[in-house]
Structure 1
Amino acid sequence: MGALSKLCSCNKALACCIGPPGTMSPIGVRLCVGDLSVVIDNGIFQLTLSKPDGIVTGIQYNGVDNLMEVLNREDNRGYWDLVWNAPGGPGTFDVIKGTDFSIILQEEDQVEVSFTRNWDPSLEGRVVPLNIDKRFIVLRGSSGFYTYAIYEHQEGWPDFSMGETRIAYKLRKDKFHYMAISDNRQRIMPMPDDRLPARSQKLAYPEAVLLTNPINPDLQGEVDDKYQYSCEDKDNKVHGWICFDPPIGFWQITPSDEFRTGGPLKQNLTSHVGPTTLAMFSSAHYAGNDLSPNFRNGEYWKKVFGPVFMYLNSSWDGSDPTMLWEDAKVQMLIEVESWPYSFPVSEDFQKSEQRGSVCGRLLVQDRYIDDEDIYANGAYVGLALPGEAGSWQRECKGYQFWTSTDDSGYFFISNILTGDYNLYAWVPGFIGDYKYETTITISSGDVIDLGDLVYNPPRDGPTLWEIGIPDRSAAEFYVPDPNPKYINRLYVNHPDRFRQYGLWERYAELYPDSDLVFTVGESDYTIDWFFAHVTRRAEDNTYKPTTWQIKFQLDSVSQNRTYLLRIALASAALAELQVRINDSAVNPPHFTTGLIGRDNAIARHGIHGLYWLYSVNVQSDWLIEGDNTIYLTQSRSSSPFQGVMYDYIRMEGPSDFD
C-alpha cells in the first residue's frame, strides 16, 4: 500500500489529503477520516460523508465546491431511507443513519467504507428491526461512486412491514435546472420554490401543483407532479440532471433490476423537482400494499440492494451541455455490461463466477390461432421466488432476473444468484401467465437448459369478438388531450400522452349525458374506448358509478353450452367491476370482482398498475339471438381516482373440441 493512500487521521482540517478538484491524480484513491467526516478523493472528484451517519454531505467536482444542496441540513442531501411500520402501527419515515464506521478496503485502486446500524431489543418500537450496512466505493480513475446496502432481519426479531426503501440525492437548485430521464423525456424544470403557495396552486393531491407565478415565466400555467416522471423498471437505467454553468451532469445509473421488486413492468419514481434524483428499490407505487413486504413470525431475511452508480460528467470544450445525456447513456451501457461487479468486498454480493444461468425456448399453443406451436416472440421470461403463476408481480422479498425472448422464442438468463426459483413468463398478444412447474435450483456455475417450454394461454373457445391488445397496458385506447388549464408541455404530442394531469376529469366532459357505449364491428377502440373506467363527478361535487356498454350481435346461440368472457385489467384502484349481461338491473350481478386494487395509476399518470385476469362463465340462457349488451359497472365511487383500466376483453364461443 502506498504511503499517500494510507489513512489520514486528521481531526480538524481535511484539506491535508485532498488534491485539486477535477484533476487526475496519479496516486490513486485517497481516504481521510476525521471526527465527523469521511472524505474520499480520486483526483477526479471528492466525496464527503458524515461520520458515523454515512450521509452524502458533499461532492466536489469540476471546480464546484459542492454539487449537493448546501442550503439543506447535512442529513437532507444524499441519504438512504426507508418507510416502515410495526403490524397495525403508523408508518415511520427513517433516514438511515449509521452508528459505526469502518474501512472495508483501502488501496490505491479502491476504497470501500461501511456505515452500519445494528438493531437490538432496546430499540424495539423506535427503530426498524434490521441490521443495515451501507457501503460506498470509489475506484481509481472513475468519475463517480458506487453505493449498496445489506439489510438483515434476524430470526426471532419483531415483525414489521416496509413500505419503501431508496436512495435520495438533493442537488443544488442554483445549479441544476435541466432534467433528463430518456431521449424524449427531458426539459428545463421548475424550481422547488415554484411549488410554494405564493407561486403555485394546490391541485387534487399534494404532489401536483399548478405553477401560477414561477421564477421562469416560460413555465407559467404548467402542472408539476413528480409522478409524471415515473418509469418502468426495465427502462429505468439512467436519469439525472444537467448544470449548464459550468456544464456538469449528475446521473443515477442502475445496472441491474435484480434487487428491485415487482418485475420489469413495476413503475417507480426517477428524478423530479428538487432537484432530486432517486434510486428506488422497493415501493408500493403503482401497486399498493401488495408490494410492501411483510415480515412475520420472526422470519429470517437478508438482501443486498445495489450497487448503483452515481456518475459525474462534464463538457470541457463548450459543446452543448445536453450532450452529457448521450455520454451518460454510454456510461450506463458500460455499467450494465460490467454487471455483476467484481469489486464489492461484501461476500453477500455474489460475483459472476458464483452465479448460474438458465436458457430455453418458449412456445405458445393456441389451436384457435394456429395448428402449430407459435414462437413466443418478445415474451418476458424471468426467475423469481417460488409462487403461483403471475406471483412475480407482487413478489417483494427476493431477487428477480428477467429477459426477453428473441424472434424464435429463445431466451438466456445469466448471472442468477444461487437459490430456488420458479420460472415465469408472459407473452404480449396472449392473456395470462406462464409458470414452469418444477422449482429450479441455481448453484454456482450452473448452466441449465430447459429446452422447449409450451405455454397454453387461457382459451376455451373461438373468439367471437375482442377489444384491445393483450399487452398489460391501456395505451392502445383513447387517451384524451388534457384540459389546457392543466398541462405539462413535455407531453404534448408525446407517445406518453397519458402522463398529463387531470385526464380522469375528461371522461365526464366527453360523455356529459350518458356513459360509454361500444358497438362491436362499428366502434374503434382507439377512439371510442376511454383509457380508464372512472367515476363521474356530479353537480354537487360527489362522484357516481359509471356503467359502460358493449353491444354485439349473435347470429345464433348454442343452447346448454357455456360462453366465456375474458376480462384482463391493466389497473385497479379501490374498484369493483360488476358484469351484467342483457339485464342492467339484475342483482346480484352475473359477476363481480369484489373490491380490488390500490395501484392509484389513474391519479399518478400511469397507463397500467398490476395485472388482473378474470374469466366469466356466460350461460347460454343469458344470451339471445341478435342484439346483446354487456354492462360493465365500476360501482365504487367515493373519489375521482377509483376505477379500472382495461387491458383486453374477449368473448369466446363454446369449445369446438367438446
Structure 2
Amino acid sequence: MRDSFTVVRCLRHSRHTGIGTPADFPSAGFAITGNASAEIAQGADWAGIVLTDIDVIGRIVQRSWFLRNTESGLHRFLRLGYHNTTGPSLGALGESRTMFRPNGGPWTHIVTNREQWAPLPSAEALTQEVSVQDATWYLGLTPDDPYVIQESDYWTKWLIRAQYTFADNQTNKAHGLYGIAVDGTAFGAWWVVNQKDAFFGGPLHIDLMVDGIAYNKQSTRSPNITNGFDRTFGPQFLYFNHGQNTSLQDLLADAELLADPEWNSAFYDEIAPNVAGYVPSSARGSFTAYVQLPPVAQEPTVVLSANGVHFQVHDLQRSTITLSTPTAYQYWGSISSEGHIAITRVKAGTYRLTCFAAGIFGDFVLDNVVVRAGEETRVSVVWTPESAGKELWRLGVPDKSSGEFRNGNERDETHPNRPAKYRIYSGAWDFPTQFPEGVNFTIGESREGVDWFFIGGH
C-alpha cells in the first residue's frame, strides 16, 4: 500500500492542482504575498521546494514540501515569523491551516479517527440543505442520502463552544479522506501527524480535522505575535495509500503506523539545513519519569509544556514567557499502570511537568524540569491529590470533559455509525422534550447520564 506510484495516482484521481498543498490564514495575522521566492533542494533520494513570502512589514510565511523515493506522500513544514523592531503587535496567532483540497476524485468518506467517520453528503443533499445555525445544515429533506442514513440529519462543522462534528484533539494520529475507484481500488489521503511538538494547547486542544477538505490545522489564541516571533510547524506527512477493496479502517491503520516522532528522524535531520527552525536530533534529549499515582487515577497523562504556564493557557501575555521568542514546545504521553512514562526527542529546554487523570480533582505540577541535548532527564514524583477537606458529595467525573452527562459521550443508536451525541448539532437533542420541567437532580439518586444535560447553563 506504500508504493511510489500511489501519490501520483491519488493526485491524478483528485485533479489536485498547484504545488504541494495550499495554506491560508483566516485570522489574517499572516498572508501569502503572491511573489514568493523559490528554492529547490535535493539529495540522493529526495527533492524539495521551499517557498518564502516576506511582506513589507516583516511577516514571513515559509512553506516547504519534500518528496522521497519509495515514499507515497509529501513531507510538509510551515514556518511563520515576524521581524519588525518598530512595528505593532499582530495580535494572537489565531488560525493557520494547510489543506489537501481535492477537486473531484474517488473520495466518498471523511475520516477523523477510528471512531468518527461518515460518508460525504451528496450534491443533492447539499442542494436541499436548510441552514439552522452558522456552518450547520439540516439534511433531513433527503432521507435516503448515505450521510443522513448512517450519521445524522445534521451536517455541521460547528458544535457548541467552537468544536466540530469531525474534530479531534491533538492526540490524533491521522485523519483524511477515503474512497473507492471504479476498478475497486480503495484510496486513502491522510494527514499523518507524526510530530506535534510545535503546536500549542496540549493534548486536549480540539480542532477541525476534515470536512471534505483534509486539514493540517493550528487554531489558537496564543501566543501574541510580536517582533521576534519565529516558529516552524512540522513535519507532518500527507500520505497516500491504496489497496484492492481495502477497508477504510485498514487504510487508516496503515497511516497511523507512521504517526511516530522516531519515524524518518534521520531523513528530517538530513533536510534540516533546508528547513529554518526545525530542531534536529542533536538538539534534543529524552525524558523519563516515575509518578506515584493516586489510587483512583484513571487514564493518567503527563504533559511537558511551557515552564510556569498551564499547558492549556490561551493568553501568553499573562505568562512569564518572553513573548518575542515563544520557543516552548510541548510533549505528552500516557503513564503506565506502574507509574512510568518515557518521552523521546524532546527539544532541549526548561519545562513544566503536568500530570492529570480522570477521577482526580486538580493536576500535579512541577516547574523547572530541564532537558538537555543528548541526555536523559529522570524525574520521580509523588502525586497527592488536591483536597479542601472531606468530600460530601460529587456531581459528574473530574476528567476535563462533560461526556458523562446526557447527550455527551452517549451514542446515537438511531444511526448505524452511532456517533457520540456531543458531536451532533445540539438542536437534535431537544432540551424541552428531554427536560420538560427543567433539570431536577438529586445527589445520590439521579443519574448524570440521564438527569443532567451535557451543556452547562440549562
For normalisation by structure 2, the TM-score amounts to 0.83
Alignment-derived partner of residue 119 in structure 1: 55
1:187 deviates by 2.8
Say how many residue pairs are matched. Answer: 429
Aligned residue for 2:454, secondary structure, equals coil
Runs ≥4 residues deviating over 6 A: none
- Is 1:307 the counterpart of 2:235? The answer is yes
- For each residue in 1:483-518, what CA deviation from the matched residue of structure 2 results, as whole angstroms up to 9, or x when unmatched? x9xx994653x4x22212234862222223x33121
What residue identity is the alignment partner of 1:383? L
What residue identity is the alignment partner of 2:265? Y
- For each residue in 1:116-167, what CA deviation from the matched residue of structure 2 results, as whole angstroms up to 9, or x when unmatched? 012333xxxxxxx422221111001111111112222225243112210111
- Cα distance change on mapping 1:339 and 1:82 into 2, 3 Å: farther
Correspondence 1:99-498 to 2 at 5 A: 99-103=36-40, 105-121=41-57, 129-154=58-83, 156=85, 157-161=87-91, 162-191=93-122, 194-195=125-126, 198-205=127-134, 207-211=135-139, 217-219=145-147, 222-226=153-157, 227-246=164-183, 247=185, 248-272=187-211, 275-280=212-217, 282-284=218-220, 291-296=221-226, 298=227, 300-315=228-243, 319-323=244-248, 325-336=249-260, 338-339=262-263, 341-344=265-268, 345-347=271-273, 348-364=277-293, 374=295, 378-388=299-309, 390-394=310-314, 398-437=328-367, 439-451=368-380, 453-479=381-407, 489=415, 491-492=417-418, 494=419, 496-498=420-422
Preserved contact between residue 488 and residue 500 of structure 1 (Cα < 8 Å)? no
1:525 maps to which of 442, 448, 455: 448
Question: Aligned-residue CA RMSD in angstroms?
Answer: 3.2
Preserved contact between residue 172 and residue 193 of structure 2 (Cα < 8 Å)? no
State the distance in 2 between where 1:167 and 1:218 align: 28
- Percent identity at matched positions? 19
What residue identity is the alignment partner of 2:302? V
State the distance in 2 between where 1:112 and 1:235 align: 26
1:395 deviates by 7.0
- Cα distance change on mapping 1:81 and 1:530 into 2, 3 Å: same
Alignment-derived partner of residue 506 in structure 1: 430
What residue identity is the alignment partner of 2:247? T
State the distance in 2 between where 1:183 and 1:387 align: 35
- Cα distance change on mapping 1:215 and 1:137 into 2, 3 Å: farther
What residue identity is the alignment partner of 2:101? K
What residue identity is the alignment partner of 2:48? E
- Cα distance change on mapping 1:480 and 1:228 into 2, 3 Å: closer
- Is 1:65 the counterpart of 2:12? The answer is yes
State the distance in 2 between where 1:531 and 1:446 align: 45
1:533 deviates by 2.3
Preserved contact between residue 175 and residue 210 of structure 2 (Cα < 8 Å)? no
Preserved contact between residue 112 and residue 138 of structure 1 (Cα < 8 Å)? yes
Preserved contact between residue 100 and residue 115 of structure 1 (Cα < 8 Å)? yes
1:382 deviates by 1.4
Listed as ranges, the gaps of 5+ residues in structure 1 are 1-21, 25-42, 47-59, 86-91, 122-128, 285-290, 366-373, 536-658
- Cα distance change on mapping 1:423 and 1:108 into 2, 3 Å: same
1:279 deviates by 0.8
What residue identity is the alignment partner of 2:301? Y
Preserved contact between residue 118 and residue 417 of structure 2 (Cα < 8 Å)? no
**Higher fraction of strand:** 1
What residue identity is the alignment partner of 1:211? L
- Cα distance change on mapping 1:478 and 1:211 into 2, 3 Å: closer
- Cα distance change on mapping 1:159 and 1:243 into 2, 3 Å: farther
- Cα distance change on mapping 1:528 and 1:415 into 2, 3 Å: same
What residue identity is the alignment partner of 1:135? S
- Cα distance change on mapping 1:45 and 1:408 into 2, 3 Å: closer
What residue identity is the alignment partner of 2:153? E
Aligned residue for 2:190, secondary structure, equals strand
State the distance in 1 between where 2:64 and 2:333 align: 28
Preserved contact between residue 148 and residue 307 of structure 1 (Cα < 8 Å)? yes
Preserved contact between residue 164 and residue 292 of structure 1 (Cα < 8 Å)? no
State the distance in 2 between where 1:471 and 1:481 align: 13
- Of structures 1 and 2, the one with the larger relative CO (CA 8 A, separation 6+) is 2
1:415 deviates by 0.8
